[in-house]
Structure 1
Amino acid sequence: MSRLIDQIKKDRITAMKSGDKEKLSTLRLLISKLEKEKVANKLTDISELSDTQAERVVVKSIKELDKEIEAYKNVNRDTLSQEAEKELLSTYLPKPLTTDELKVIVQEIATKTAESGNNIGLAMKELKATIGSRADMGAASKMLKEELNK
């Protein structure tokens, strides 16, 4: 049972009771996306999704909002509601890693990888498993490649 999904459902009920329409709308949309993930994984209930799977859905939703915000800014439209949605969704993710914490993790993985023959594929797999959704994989990948090329 996913604690993250339970929290999202509780927050949805709280938003319903308090009359917070924007928060309720965002949480309903998120639950809808979790339902799609449930179907894709051939599960019977969204509560069967792991926290990791739910986090992936939240991260994907945030990335979609980033693209939407960028598109709105390009045509000089107001992005306050999208930014509010993004802020709300961000509360369901684990605390992001600082650059220093990420560097330490990347250096450890690079050291292990160098000892085992510089296999970048295995290093990336370990990096993804270690940092999950706590850091941008693009930046982490770039750091890892720089570390391995030293």
Structure 2
Amino acid sequence: MTTFKSRLQSDLTTAIKGRDELRSATLRMTLAAITTEEVAGKTARELSDEEVRKVVAREAKKRREAAEAFESGGRPEQAARERAEGEVLAEYLPQQLSDDELAALVAEAVAEARAGGAEGPRAMGAVMKIVNPKVAGRAEGGRVAAAVKGALA
């Protein structure tokens, strides 16, 4: 078992013993999503720490989107619950990049892509290819794409 997954399971045990309903429910759902990912496909396999982190990030994003949907649907209690679950999951994710840090990484990638001959809006793919590995889980894809578009404009 990966160290990240075992950390999630031990935290779940602690939350259950401490009768922390929110944390235990959130970690249960996340571990279920990890197990689903492990058995998806033709053969079952164990996920690496990085793959587990991606599943946790995907679950956190689902919580953010659900909170927005509940808020716009006039259900503030449910939106608050989704936000609280997202905060629990955020504890397991790397610190997000600030706008300034993201802009600096994007500027470097744009300069690198232009040195390689990419110009204008068509350079978007080349720049994204350079910047994505540097960002790796520390900023959402939509946020990165918006920063790249802004830098290329």
Shift of 1:12: 0.6
Partner of 2:73: 75
Q: Percent identity?
A: 30
1:147 paired with 2:151, answer: yes
**What's the counterpart of residue 131 of structure 2?**
127
- TM-score, length of structure 1 as denominator length: 0.86
The equivalent residue for 1:49 is: 47
Write the letter of the residue equivalent to 2:94.
P
Larger mean CA deviation between 50-59 and 9-18 belongs to 50-59
Q: Secondary structure at the match of 1:95?
A: coil
Name the CA shift for 1:105/1:87 in 2 (closer, same or farther; >3 Å): same
Question: Partner residue of 2:101?
Answer: 101
CA contact (8 A) 1:12 1:24 kept: yes
Q: Summarize deviations over 1:72-124 as a string: whole Å, max 9, x none.
A: 22232212221110100111100111111111111111111001121432321
- Unaligned segments of structure 2, at least 5 residues: none
Determine the structure 2 residue equivalent to 1:110. Answer: 110
Q: Select between 55-64 and 21-30 the one with higher mean Cα deviation.
A: 55-64
State the alpha-carbon separation in 2 of the partners of residues 88 and 16 from structure 1: 14
Taking the aligned partners of 2:71 and 2:36, their CA distance within structure 1 comes to: 29
CA distance in 2: counterparts of 1:10 and 1:68, whole angstroms: 27
* Equivalent residue pairs, number: 146
Q: TM-score, normalised by structure 2?
A: 0.85
Does 110-119 or 88-97 show the bigger shift? 110-119
Q: How far off is 1:54 after superposition?
A: 1.5
Per the TM alignment, residue 5 of structure 1 is displaced from its structure 2 partner at its CA by 1.4
Q: Which amino acid aligns with 1:57?
A: V
Q: How does 1:32-43 map to 2 (within 5 A)?
A: 32-40=32-40, 42-43=43-44
**8 A Cα contact 1:114 1:148, kept in partner:** no
Secondary structure of 1:96's counterpart equals coil
The aligned amino acid for 2:55 is V
